[in-house]
């Protein structure tokens, strides 16, 4: 499943890293959410491809994001 983050709209609340740390983490430089290196596509911090066993946690993170900037699916 594909997952994207509109990073420029992230408010650094940390919910996605708490809900799904396998896929989301805080960038150490700009403090915005990014996709973990393991699941990143083409070194794009905002785009990931996750296996089926992580789909639920990604969907939980997307649901929990207060500004709705995580998009999962496809
Ligand atoms: S839950 Fe949303 S606003 Fe919060 S850190 Fe993650 S992407 Fe940013």
User: What does the pLDDT look like over 7-25, one tens digit per residue?
Assistant: 999 999 999 999 999 999 9
Burial of 6 (0-12, 13-18, 19+ CB in 10 A): middle
| pLDDT at residue 1 in the model | 97
Query: Domains of the chain (ranges plus CATH)?
Result: 2-73 (3.30.70.20)
Question: Which residue's entry shows tokens 């890293």?
Answer: 17
Does residue 44 contact residue 3 with C-beta atoms inside 8 Å?
no
How far apart are alpha carbons 70 and 64 in whole angstroms?
A: 9
Q: Rounded to 5 degrees, what are φ and ψ at 19?
A: -75, -35
Does residue 62 contact residue 15 with C-beta atoms inside 8 Å?
no
What is the whole-number distance in angstroms between the Cα of residue 32 and the centre of ligand 1? Answer: 8
User: What does the pLDDT look like over 26-52, one tens digit per residue?
Assistant: 999 999 999 999 999 999 999 999 999
Residue of 7, 9, 11 to mutate, ligand 1, most atoms within 8 A of C-beta: 11
Tokens in use for 6?
């509109």
Quote the pTM value: 0.96
| pLDDT at residue 73 in the model | 86
């Amino acid at each position: 499943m594909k997952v994207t983050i509109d990073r420029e709209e992230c408010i650094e609340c940390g919910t996605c890293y708490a809900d799904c740390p396998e896929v989301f983490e805080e960038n150490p430089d700009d403090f915005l959410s990014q996709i973990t290196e393991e699941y990143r596509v083409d070194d794009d911090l905002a785009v990931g491809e996750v296996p089926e066993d992580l789909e639920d946690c990604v969907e939980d993170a997307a649901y929990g994001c207060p500004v709705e900037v995580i998009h999962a699916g496809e």
